[in-house]
Each structure stands twice: as structure tokens, then as C-alpha cells.
Structure 1
């Protein structure tokens, strides 16, 4: 005799996960990340996160480990491990700032820069695959909606910090 399958409570049973915006965004992000990783592992021998870090450093958007932690929403120790792996592979190096000896900037090696230069083509190819059948207007609309989601998340974070007595909003 088999054990009976437990029946979930109504608040779980009646929730349509497939209609959840959060679930759909998370699944889309996972699919995109997996597709980029398949390409970067096959073509470059690194993960999508490692390749993305190289690209962010090359673009000048994230030149400090703390900036990477904020951009990716991960803790400093995870960034340190990621940077350690890239440095060990000879793709990235830490450079002490001459102005502030406490600050350690990230810089690409020539090999890291070569990988970063290949990333836009990989990002574009994966995005085109995922957006197959979308009109240019639909892609633009999707980007605008995602920007609004991100802006709302920044506003929510600022409001939560202000409520907790940290970093009051800029317009206070």
C-alpha cells in the first residue's frame, strides 16, 4: 500500500503559479542565463556569470567588487570568490588605487578583454532566440516594462531603507 498523497491547503492549491509575474520573470531569467552559460562554456570555457562580470568590468560599469555585489545582488564573499576564480584563470586582476590605498579596482587582462568583446554577440544571439516571433515594438514594450519593474524595485528598496531609518530618500 502506498502513502496517500497529501492535499495542499487551498491558498497553495488555488494559486496559479503559471500566471505569477514573479515566477515568469524568474523562469525567463533562468532560461536566458542557462542559454548564455551553454554558449560561454562551449565557446569561452567560463560561466555566464563570469563572462558577465568581465563584460561589466570592461564596460566600466563595475570597477569595484562592491559595485559587482550591488549589480548582481550577491554578498561580498560571493563576489570575492568569483573574482578569485577569474584572477586565477588570468582573466582579471586586482589593482590598488594610487589615490586611495584601501580601494582595489578590477581590471581585465588582455585575455579577459578578448572574452568581454565577444559577449555582446552572445547576449544578442540569446536574446534574439528568446524573442523569436516578437515584433520590434513588442521588444521595445517589454524593455520599457522591465525598466519600470526595476525602477519600482529601487523605489521600494529606498522606501524600506527610509522606514528602517537608513539612507533617507534623496528628495527628503
Structure 2
């Protein structure tokens, strides 16, 4: 499957909202709910504008995983970019129709090669719950290494780190 990662823009609002609503129950099986307000379009638009403002400031990158027809298959984000320390925090999700088909692994590879070089990061951190084996496989397949287990909630998290190699 041919996919790409496109930088989030306001033009994506309606299709991204549909993607999030369609996949809500699927996402909430593995991550905390974003709350009912998130799924009201006016509230969603305000949140989207806040993300776009963060992106314009260079403290986050929000990407949409799309197929060759332009349909949204998932999201690939780097947030809380600490420019002084060169650290960013990875988050991603793919929709239920796409899960288990290698899209997340392929998208992360594209993200690391095509988008990360333009971002001010040397290290990318990620975490996943200990029972999210598929997410762990995506990270490991793309060169992330486990480095810590935290106890932030009653669930254990596995922490991963990726060191960005600069080609000069």
C-alpha cells in the first residue's frame, strides 16, 4: 500500500474529524478517551487550531498518514519538542480498518526519513503500555530501543528512544 505523511492543515479538518469519530471506540480500547466534547465539531475545530498554532511555533509536528487516494489512515505526531535539548515525543495511531497491515511501521519509517531531518531533534522518545505488543513491534522495527519502565499509572509503560543520525 502506498502511503505518505502530510503535514496537518486546516483543510484536513472535516476528514480528520470523520476519521476520529469513526475510530473512537477502537482507539478507546487502548488509550484514554479524549472526552465527549472532542467529538463535537466546534470543539474539535478549536482544538485543531491550537495544534496548528503549536506546529507554527515549531514545538510540534502533526502529520496525517494518507493513502494514494488522500484518505486518512492515521496520525503521526512529534510533540513537546524541546529545541534546547533536541528532544521530541512521538505519538501515532492508525484506524481500525488499517491496523495490523504494516501501515504504522511504514509510516514511522517515512516520518523518520522525510520529516524528522527538518525538525530540531536529536532524540525521539516514545512510550507504550506493556500489553501493546503491536506498537512495541512498530518502534523496534524502526530502530527505537527500550530504555525505561515507568509507573506513571497503575499500568506499566515501556519507554523507547531513537537517536536521530544526521547525514552530513
Q: TM-score, normalised by structure 2?
A: 0.25
Q: Which has the higher contact order (CA 8 A, sep 6+)?
A: 2
Bigger proportion of residues as strand: 2
TM-score, scaled relative to structure 1: 0.24
